[in-house]
């Protein structure tokens, strides 16, 4: 679930067994964020039209664009 502040939203992907933060995505000025998590990808979309897809197996950003 996203964490909202006055500056926007942040999403933290946490590896539960180790409690380690594996990814942190800051979405400045966002007030709503949609998430989809699969074993291979984390997909984020916000109310400002941004879409980000993270490849969880390789640790790479696969997509980062605006609609």
- pTM, 2 dp: 0.90
CB contact set of 64 (below 8 Å; sequence gap of 6+): 50, 51, 52, 53
Name the band, by pLDDT with cuts 50, 70 and 90, for residue 16. Answer: very high
> What pLDDT is recorded for position 47?
98
Q: What are phi and psi for residue 49, nearest 5 degrees? A: 90, 10
Tens-place pLDDT, residues 18-61: 999 999 999 999 999 999 999 999 999 999 999 999 999 999 99
59 CB-contact burial (10 Å; exposed 0-12 / middle 13-18 / buried 19+): exposed
């Amino acid at each position: 679930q996203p964490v909202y502040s006055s500056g926007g939203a942040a999403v933290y992907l946490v590896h539960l067994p180790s409690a380690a933060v594996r990814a942190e995505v800051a979405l400045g000025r966002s007030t709503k964020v949609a998430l989809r998590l699969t074993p291979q990808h984390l997909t984020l979309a916000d109310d400002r039209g941004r879409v980000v897809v993270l490849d969880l197996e390789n640790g790479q950003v696969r997509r980062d664009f605006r609609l």
